[in-house]
């Protein structure tokens, strides 16, 4: 193309322009682009090919929203590296986000696709586009390279529907699974409900059989009990059968209530299984309780009848027991006096009058035995049985009164032994507590309180005013409290240990992130706003707090270090956002002397051709008058308006760690 322009200028006799023509023909430094997507500095495309390539790239913009410029030069110079040359060209022309430049060295057989610094296609996609273009370029198909590059870029930008197919399949499968699981749950629930109904029905049938049997048994038992009560009244008197009569009356009421319930169950109004279950349960409970009460009272009559049959022999046995129990009150008095020498009066209050009670019971026994002798002599075995039964019960009470006192010494000795063992346990707890950290003083207070309990216990376990039962109870409570406090302290100590182990690592991370954030702010302070600086200050404060507390309270220090790390991360994030916003309006303004020269040549040529020719090529020969000039029209994000900010205002803002290839 440049060769064609040179011929045109020669035909017009423009000698001054021809003097500049070699500069244009050999402009292999990063050039200023015109209004077309294609820059053919190597003159490898025909007019028709160039127009077709431009149309294809225009269509690519409509398809993908991405701009792709293709630049052909013979060789890359100033810089000579393909990547540097492509990025410099993009910077020079102010390409922005979503704008790419494919640089092709026709004689150097190299190509490179420059991308935006922020975002852009992934490296693998860029390589795929380069490979597609390289396929045509390897066969010197210069125009075909544009088509293949555009096709591949469109393909790479297309969303992958595979994942949606997969997700759709997953959703369908999940829906099927959900329906299946729901159906299974419903079926399981129905089976469970059916099984529960069957179980309930079986239990109701079991209760029906049991209730029917109990009704018959209780009816028979009551008839027998009422007859027995009549005999017992005649034999032992109405006073002796009073409790039994009450039991019979209660049983009759329970039986009547049960018959009423059974009648309701047997009538024409059906009850639910739950109602039947409840009613049969009530029948069973009523009748079993009444039967147990009758049995208990009947047992007393059995004992009376046994005594009645052997009244003379029982009288002799109880008379001998009375003689053996005669010294019971004296034994109680002597034992209490001995215990008072060692133990405090309050611990003996419960048994202090046992000797008097025992003496009173013995007097009652004497009276009942005397009456029994008279009744035996008179042949009244029933009355004798009642007297002997009461005497036997009173003698049993005397034995209990004596045992309550004589057994105290053993109880006190066991309590003292247990108390001393508890003291040893508490002292061990104190030793463990002293080795734990006590941040709030609760452990110190617990230790002091426990020591007080121990001192009081030792005092109360010695001398003549001992209270072993009370001491053991107090020590048990103190031990429970100390165990709880120790458990909390050990948990806190373990948390402290874990925090201390994690603290150093977190502090290193926080301080490193803080240093990175400070460097970012310091080197770009003109672009960084208040939010990042405030986060930076907060991060420093939290880190200082963590360092100050690392020995005294590692847990609090760890929390502070974690907050410091988050503030430092926030500071870096805010600073980067501020820097990006600050640099975004900047264009690719790193020009070169040759670039300026080319603008001059372009202006002269454009003016001459625009003034003397009409109906030229669609591309035109100037960079200033087309509707695509400066890419400010439909393509958007153009020269001077791109969103690729330059770091620090210098060098290029497009970067790939690799890329480019030969063909």
Quick one: three-class SS letters along 502-555? Answer: HHHHHHHHHHHHHHHHHHHHHHCCCCCCHHHHHHHHHHHHHHHHHHHHCCCCHH
Say if residue 114 is exposed, middle or buried (CB neighbours under 10 Å; 0-12, 13-18, 19+): buried
Query: For residue 615, what pLDDT band results from cuts at 50, 70 and 90?
Result: very low
pLDDT digits (tens, 9 = 90+) for 560-578: 999 999 999 999 898 888 8
Residue 619 pLDDT more than 60? no
Poorest-pLDDT segment among 199-213, 278-292, 527-541, 610-624: 610-624
Average pLDDT for 588-592: 37
Query: For residue 173, what pLDDT band results from cuts at 50, 70 and 90?
Result: low
Given the DSSP bridges, would you call strands 661-662 and 38-40 parallel, antiparallel or unpaired? Answer: unpaired
Q: Are 90 and 33 in contact (CB under 8 A)?
A: no
C-alpha distances in Å from residue 296, one per residue of 248, 250, 400, 626: 11, 13, 23, 119
**H-assigned helices in 93-161:** 123-137, 142-157
Query: Which long-range CB contacts under 8 A does 57-65 form with residues at least 24 apart?
Result: 57/146, 57/150, 59/150, 60/150, 60/153, 60/154, 61/634, 61/635, 63/154, 63/157, 64/153, 64/154, 64/157, 65/98
Among 99, 267, 30, 76, residue whose Cα is nearest residue 628: 99
Q: Would you state the pLDDT for residue 2?
A: 45
Average pLDDT for 473-481: 90
Question: Which helix (H) or strand (E) covers residue 9, if one does?
Answer: helix 2-12
3-state helix, strand, coil in the chain (%, to 5): 75, 5, 25
**H-assigned helices in 237-310:** 242-266, 273-309
What is the separation, in whole angstroms, between the first and last Cα of the chain?
A: 23
Q: Within a 10 A sphere around the Cβ of 129, how many other Cβ atoms?
A: 25
Give φ, ψ of 101 to 5 degrees.
Answer: -135, 125
Q: Within a 10 A sphere around the Cβ of 655, how many other Cβ atoms?
A: 16
Structure tokens at 463: 């001398």
Q: Would you state the pLDDT for residue 308?
A: 81
Q: Would you state the pLDDT for residue 629?
A: 31
Query: For residue 614, what pLDDT band results from cuts at 50, 70 and 90?
Result: very low
Average pLDDT for 263-270: 89
Q: Are 182 and 166 in contact (CB under 8 A)?
A: no
pLDDT digits (tens, 9 = 90+) for 79-102: 999 999 999 999 899 888 889 999
The three-point CA angle 517-522-527 to 5° equals: 95
pTM of this prediction exceeds 0.85: no
Question: Which helix (H) or strand (E) covers residue 361, if one does?
Answer: helix 354-378
The residues spanned by each domain of the chain are 2-158+590-639, 185-298, 311-406, 507-583
Poorest-pLDDT segment among 205-214, 476-485, 647-656: 647-656
Residue 277 pLDDT more than 90? yes
- In angstroms, rounded to a whole number, what is the distance separating the alpha carbons of residues 207 and 202? 9
- In angstroms, rounded to a whole number, what is the distance separating the alpha carbons of residues 94 and 114? 13
User: How does the average pLDDT of the chain come out, rounded?
Assistant: 80
Strand order in the sheet with 110-114: 38-40, 67-73, 99-105, 110-114, 661-662
Q: Would you state the pLDDT for residue 313?
A: 92
Among 42, 29, 71, residue whose Cα is nearest residue 54: 71
- In angstroms, rounded to a whole number, what is the distance separating the alpha carbons of residues 2 and 10? 12
Structure tokens at 268: 């024409």
Residue 162 pLDDT more than 60? no
Poorest-pLDDT segment among 69-78, 193-202, 357-366: 193-202
Query: For residue 452, what pLDDT band results from cuts at 50, 70 and 90?
Result: very high
Average pLDDT for 219-226: 84
Considering the domain 2-158+590-639, what is its CATH architecture? Roll (3.10)
Q: Give residues with Cβ within 8 angstroms of 375, minimum separation 6.
A: 311, 381, 383, 384, 387
Structure tokens at 189: 């629930």
Q: Would you state the pLDDT for residue 7?
A: 41
């Amino acid at each position: 193309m440049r060769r064609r322009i040179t011929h045109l200028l020669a035909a017009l006799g423009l000698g001054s322009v021809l003097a500049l023509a070699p500069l244009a023909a050999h402009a292999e430094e990063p050039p200023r682009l015109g209004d077309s997507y294609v820059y053919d500095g190597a003159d490898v495309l025909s007019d028709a090919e160039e127009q077709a390539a431009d149309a294809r790239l225009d269509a690519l913009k409509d398809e993908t929203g991405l701009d792709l410029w293709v630049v052909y030069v013979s060789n890359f110079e100033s810089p000579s590296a393909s990547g540097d040359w492509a990025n410099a060209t993009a910077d020079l022309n102010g390409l922005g986000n979503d704008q790419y430049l494919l640089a092709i060295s026709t004689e150097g057989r190299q190509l490179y696709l420059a991308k935006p610094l922020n975002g852009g296609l992934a490296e693998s996609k860029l390589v795929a586009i380069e490979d597609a273009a390289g396929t045509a370029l390897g066969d010197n198909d210069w125009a075909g390279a544009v088509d293949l590059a555009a096709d591949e870029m469109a393909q790479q930008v297309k969303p992958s529907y595979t994942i949606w197919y997969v997700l759709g399949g997953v959703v369908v499968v999940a829906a099927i699974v959900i329906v299946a699981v729901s159906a299974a749950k419903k079926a399981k629930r129905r089976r469970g409900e059916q099984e529960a109904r069957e179980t309930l029905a079986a239990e109701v049938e079991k209760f029906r059989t049991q209730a029917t049997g109990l009704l018959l048994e209780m009816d028979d038992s009551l008839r027998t009990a009422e007859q027995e009560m009549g005999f017992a009244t005649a034999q032992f008197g109405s006073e002796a059968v009073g409790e039994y009569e009450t039991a019979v009356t209660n049983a009759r009421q329970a039986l009547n209530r049960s018959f009423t319930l059974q009648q309701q169950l047997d009538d024409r109004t059906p009850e639910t299984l739950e109602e039947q279950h409840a009613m049969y349960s009530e029948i069973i409970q009523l009748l079993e309780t009444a039967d147990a009460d009758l049995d208990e009272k009947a047992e007393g009559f059995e004992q009376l009848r046994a005594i009645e049959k052997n009244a003379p022999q029982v009288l002799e046995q109880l008379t001998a027991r009375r003689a053996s129990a005669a010294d019971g009150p004296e034994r109680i008095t002597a034992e209490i006096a001995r215990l008072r020498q060692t133990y405090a009066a309050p611990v003996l209050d419960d048994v202090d009058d046992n000797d008097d009670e025992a003496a009173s019971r013995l007097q009652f026994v004497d009276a009942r035995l005397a009456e029994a002798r008279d009744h035996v002599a008179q042949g009244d075995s029933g009355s004798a049985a009642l007297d002997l039964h009461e005497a036997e019960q009173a003698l049993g009470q005397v034995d209990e009164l004596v045992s309550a006192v004589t057994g105290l010494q053993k109880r006190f000795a066991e309590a003292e032994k247990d108390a001393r063992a508890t003291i040893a346990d508490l002292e061990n707890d104190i030793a463990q507590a002293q080795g734990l950290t006590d941040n709030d003083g609760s452990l110190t207070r617990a230790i002091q309180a426990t020591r007080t309990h121990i001192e009081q216990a030792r005092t109360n376990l010695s001398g003549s005013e001992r209270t072993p039962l009370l001491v053991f109870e107090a020590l048990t409570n103190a031990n429970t409290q100390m165990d709880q406090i120790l458990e909390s302290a050990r948990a806190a100590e373990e948390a402290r240990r874990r925090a201390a182990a994690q603290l150093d690592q977190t502090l290193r991370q926080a301080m490193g992130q803080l240093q990175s954030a400070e460097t970012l702010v310091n080197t770009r302070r003109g672009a960084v706003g208040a939010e990042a600086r405030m986060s930076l200050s907060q991060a420093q404060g939290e880190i200082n707090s963590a360092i100050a507390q690392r020995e005294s309270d590692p847990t609090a220090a760890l929390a502070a270090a974690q907050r410091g790390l988050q503030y430092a991360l926030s500071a870096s994030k805010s600073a980067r956002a501020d820097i990006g916003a600050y640099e975004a309006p900047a264009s690719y303004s790193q020009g070169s002397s040759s670039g300026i020269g080319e603008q001059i040549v372009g202006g002269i040529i454009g003016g001459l051709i625009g003034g003397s020719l009409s109906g030229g090529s669609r591309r035109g020969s100037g960079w200033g008058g087309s509707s695509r000039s400066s890419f400010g029209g439909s393509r958007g994000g153009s020269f001077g308006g791109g969103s690729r900010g330059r770091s620090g205002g210098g060098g290029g803002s497009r970067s790939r760690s690799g890329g480019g290839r030969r063909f």
